[in-house]
Chain A
Amino acid sequence: MGEGSLGRRRLHRLSIGVLVVGAAAVGGLTWVTAWSHGRNEQRLLDQRVREAAAVLVTSLPRVQTPLAAGAELAEATNGDATAFRRFATPLVQQGAPFVSVSLWQLNATDPRPLATIGQPSMLAARSADTIRAVLNRSTVTTSLGIVDLLDADQPRLGYAFASNQAAPSFVAYAEAALPPDRTGVVQQGSTFAGLDYALYLGPDETSSELLIASIRDLPITGRRSVQSVDFGDSKLTLAMRPREELGGPVLDALPWIIAAVGTVLTLAATLVTERLAVGRRHARRLANENQKLFESQRDIAQSLQRSLLPSRLPDIPGLEIAARYEPGVEGVEVGGDWYEVIALTEDRVMVVVGDVSGRGLEASAAMAALRFASRGFALEGHEPAAILARLRNLVDVERDGHFATILIALISISERKITFANAGHPRPVLRDDRGTRIIETVAGAPVGVASAKPYASFTCDVGNGATLVAFTDGLFERRGEMVDVGMERVRAAIATENRSLDEVLSKLMRDVATRADDDTAIVGIRWQQ
Chain B
Amino acid sequence: MAAVDDDATSARFEPCRDDAGECVLHVAGEVDLSNAPQLRRAIESMRVANPARLVLDVRELTFMDSSGLAVLLQAAAKLDALVLRHAQSSIIRLIETTGVTSVLSVEP
Report which A residues bind B (CB closer than 8 A): 328-329, 332-333, 335-337, 355-359, 363, 396-398, 401-403, 405, 422-424, 426-427, 443-446, 448-453, 472-474, 477, 479-484, 515, 517-519
Contact = CB atoms under 8 A, between A and B. Distances in A.
Given A403-B70, A453-B102, A483 B94 contact: yes
Contacts of B98: 405, 424, 443, 446
B73 A481 contact: no
A480 B4 contact: no
Contact of A357 (B5, B40, B67, B97): B67
27 contacts: A332-B4, A336-B1, A355-B66, A357-B66, A357-B70, A358-B67, A359-B4, A397-B70, A398-B74, A398-B77, A398-B78, A402-B70, A403-B73, A405-B98, A446-B73, A446-B100, A449-B100, A450-B77, A452-B102, A453-B102, A473-B1, A474-B1, A477-B3, A482-B90, A483-B93, A515-B3, A519-B2
Nearest to B71: A401
Interface residues of B, number: 32
Contact of B102 (A445, A477, A517): A445
B2 A480 contact: no
Contacts of B69: 357, 403
Given A445-B99, A450-B103, A473-B66, A356 B90 contact: no
Contact of B99 (A444, A472, A474): A444
B50 to A, nearest CB: 19
Contacts of A477: 3, 65
Contacts of B89: 482
B77 A397 contact: yes
B63 interface: yes
Given A450-B103, A519-B2, A358 B90 contact: no
A448 B74 CA distance: 9
A359 B90 contact: no
Interface string B16-29: 00000000000000
A404 to B, nearest CB: 9
Contacts of A448: 73
B62 interface: yes
Given A446-B98, A482-B93, A518 B1 contact: yes
B30 interface: yes
Nearest to A444: B99
Contact of B63 (A355, A359, A480): A480
Interface string B22-51: 000000001001001000100000000000
Nearest to A518: B3
Given A443-B97, A449-B103, 6 more contacts: A401-B70, A445-B102, A451-B102, A479-B30, A480-B30, A483-B90
Contacts of B62: 479-480
Interface of B: 1-5, 30, 33, 36, 40, 62-63, 65-67, 69-71, 73-74, 77-78, 89-90, 93-94, 96-100, 102-103
A402 to B, nearest CB: 6
Contacts of A397: 70, 73-74, 77
Given A358-B70, A479-B62, A405 B1 contact: yes
Nearest to B5: A517
Most chain A CB inside 10 Å of its own CB: which residue of B33, B71, B94? B33
Nearest to B96: A443
Contact of A517 (B4, B30, B93, B100): B4
Contacts of B70: 357-358, 397, 401-403
A357 B2 contact: yes
Contact of B73 (A337, A449, A452, A453): A449
A397 B74 CA distance: 5
Contacts of B65: 477, 518
Contacts of B5: 517
Nearest to B65: A477
Contacts of A518: 1-4, 65
Contacts of A422: 99
Contact of B33 (A359, A426, A481): A359
A444 B33 CA distance: 24
B99 A335 contact: no
A158 to B, nearest CB: 100
Contact of A472 (B1, B67, B102): B1
Most chain A CB inside 10 Å of its own CB: which residue of B62, B94, B102? B102
A358 B2 contact: yes
Most chain B CB inside 10 Å of its own CB: which residue of A335, A337, A363, A479? A479
Contacts of B36: 358
A122 B10 CA distance: 109
A333 B2 CA distance: 10
Contacts of A515: 3
Nearest to B63: A479
B2 A328 contact: yes
Contacts of A359: 2, 4, 33, 67
